[in-house]
Amino acid sequence: MNRQLREFRRLERVCLEQAALSTMDLARSGLLKVADDCRLAAEAIEAQPAPRGAIGLAVEALRLMLTAARPPRRH
């Protein structure tokens, strides 16, 4: 669990650093979105009550992050 949490936090930090250096708006906005997704995944991992195994935690964190970040469907 700690390894996945550290990895998501590291990816978030790298994306934020690269976004700050980017001169292209599209690249900057994409990097900021990925950084936000990594932050959400890390927060989801931190919110888990008890470790269930590294892969299970990472999958659950990504599932929570994707459902929280998904815009509502319009008909």
Choice between 20 and 2, residue whose per-residue pLDDT is larger:
20
Closest CA to 18 of 3, 33, 6, 4: 33
Crossing angle for the helix pair 25-46 and 54-69, nearest 10 degrees?
Answer: 130
Q: What is the pLDDT of residues 3-40, one digit of tens each?
A: 889 999 999 999 999 999 999 999 999 999 999 999 99
Crossing angle for the helix pair 2-21 and 54-69, nearest 10 degrees?
Answer: 40
Alpha-carbon distance of 65 to 30, in angstroms, equals 16
User: What residues does each domain of the chain span?
Assistant: 2-69
Cα-based angle 51, 55, 60 (whole degrees, multiple of 5): 75
